[in-house]
Amino acid sequence: MSSSLAFRNIYNSQPDISSFTPGRVNLIGEHIDYNGGMVLPATLEKGIFISLKSRSDNRIRIYSDQFCRVEELNINDSATSNWSDYALGSIVFANKAGFLNGGADIAITTTLPLGAGLSSSSALIVGILKLAASLSKRPYDNIKIAILAKRVENEFIGIPCGIMDQMVISCSDLGKAIALDTKTLDFEILTLPNAYHMAILHSGEYRLNTDGNYRKRKEECDKIKEIIGHNDICNMSNNDFALLNNISTDLKQRARHCVTEHQRTLNAIKAIKKDNVFKLGLLMTESHISMRDDFKVSLPNIDSLVHDAIDLGAVGARLTGGGFGGCIVACVLKENLTTWRQKLLSRHPRAFSVI
């Protein structure tokens, strides 16, 4: 069902405005957007449909087809670790930005699975902010929307995420990759190899942004920054690493992932520009190994899914997203995709295809 039809059915009125906002998959460059690294995400054909009608009072009503109920809230409410927090926070910050002057009625329908690491939450926030900005007719640009969306997650939801998800969702072209420097927010749109498909499969392991694991990794990286005396973990020197020798093996592993993942991303960007798919695939696989062994955000079922994806013919595969569940992304020759997917899913009955 479209979000506009859902809106009419739920609220018995017409929305002011509707739109589609894509989800994203990160091809490489994981957990380094909050450490100043280069990242390489891409927008998806699947995403979130949102319809919105502004209100003159402070009442906020939110319907999602994922939960089949309406949450009734107030603009002065705080986050409560509920699914509706992301929409509530978006309306709160849309008011702070001057895009709205009061509450809203919202209907949401989605083709993205929740807890998959495909950034359904950031897509929802960016989508609502863009709708509110369009209604206000106030000037805005996509980078400012991304920065505001990050504030919703950091300040309202309480997730210490970086800027990657918001930037690719707000700024990239549909189905394209974005080579993003998270320090400067400079970016370049890249076209992916035409003969290959970036297949996304859900592992069957679900995760929540609020489960605390993401926060723990962010806090470990913040500790590294305190020890080395600067924020640029991704470009640490040998002298910086020496400062970690007597501190913690875990912190040294986290730092090693950031440095090597940053370099892998730079090399992946070069590989895409040279149409070197096999180099790209190798870098993706190396990224997964680093996430498994150094950043320790993978799970045995996901490691097995990645291994079998490559064993059955993918040129590279890796866990994508924050980790501790969710999806893998695999680079597969399009002409082999159907057979490859069928064989992989037969080995992993809990897994399912997303794209």
Residues 223 and 175 in one domain: no
**Residue 206: pLDDT over 90:** no
Q: Which of 168, 190, 212 is the last residue of a domain?
A: 190
Residues 266 and 147 in one domain: no
pLDDT tier at 239, thresholds 50, 70, 90: very high
Residues 99 and 127 in one domain: yes
Q: Which of 133, 161, 190 is the last residue of a domain?
A: 190
pLDDT of residue 104: 98
225 contacts: CB under 8 Å, gap ≥ 6: 231, 233
pLDDT tier at 179, thresholds 50, 70, 90: very high
Helix (H) / strand (E) element for 171: namely helix 164-171
Tokens of 185: 């927010």
pLDDT of residue 211: 59
Residue whose C-alpha is closest to residue 161's, from 24, 335, 331, 349: 24
Domain of 261: which CATH number? 3.30.70.890
Residues 174 and 314 in one domain: no
**Residue 144, φ and ψ in degrees, nearest 5:** -65, -35
- 105, 165, 240, 294: the catalytic one is 165
Residues 179 and 218 in one domain: no
Residues 176 and 289 in one domain: no
| Range of the structural domain that residue 166 is part of | 3-190
Dump pLDDT digits (tens) for 259-277. Answer: 999 999 999 999 999 999 9
Residues in the chain: 355
Residues 142 and 250 in one domain: no
232 given a catalytic annotation: no
Predicted TM-score (pTM) of this structure: 0.89
Q: What number of helices (H) and strands (E) belong to the chain?
A: 11, 11
Dump pLDDT digits (tens) for 48-87. Answer: 999 999 999 999 999 999 888 899 999 999 999 898 999 9
Residues 175 and 225 in one domain: no
Look at phi and psi of residue 172 and say left if phi exceeds 0, alpha if psi is from -120 to 50, else beta.
Answer: beta
Q: Is 28 helix (H, G, I), strand (E, B) or coil?
A: strand
Residue whose C-alpha is closest to residue 221's, from 208, 211, 212, 230: 230
pLDDT of residue 246: 82
Q: How many structural domains compose the chain?
A: 2
| Measured distance CA(39)–CA(88) in Å, rounded | 29
User: Do the beta carbons of residue 92 and residue 86 sit within 8 Å?
Assistant: no
If one counts every other C-beta atom within 10 angstroms of the C-beta of residue 81, the result is 10
**What DSSP string describes 294-330?**
TS----HHHHHHHHHHHHTT-SEEEEESSSSSSEEEE
pLDDT tier at 38, thresholds 50, 70, 90: very high
Q: Which of 134, 168, 190 is the last residue of a domain?
A: 190
pLDDT of residue 215: 85
Tokens of 108: 């949401």
Tokens of 295: 């950043």
**What DSSP string describes 195-251?**
TEEEEEEE-S----TTSSHHHHHHHHHHHHHHHHTSS-GGG--HHHHHTTTTT-HHH
**Residue 210: pLDDT over 60:** no
Dump pLDDT digits (tens) for 85-133. Answer: 999 999 999 999 999 999 999 999 999 876 666 778 999 999 999 999 9
- What's the average model confidence in pLDDT over 155-179? 92
| Measured distance CA(23)–CA(44) in Å, rounded | 5
| Measured distance CA(167)–CA(267) in Å, rounded | 21
**Residue 171, φ and ψ in degrees, nearest 5:** -115, -20
Residues 264 and 323 in one domain: yes
Residues 243 and 301 in one domain: yes
pLDDT of residue 161: 87
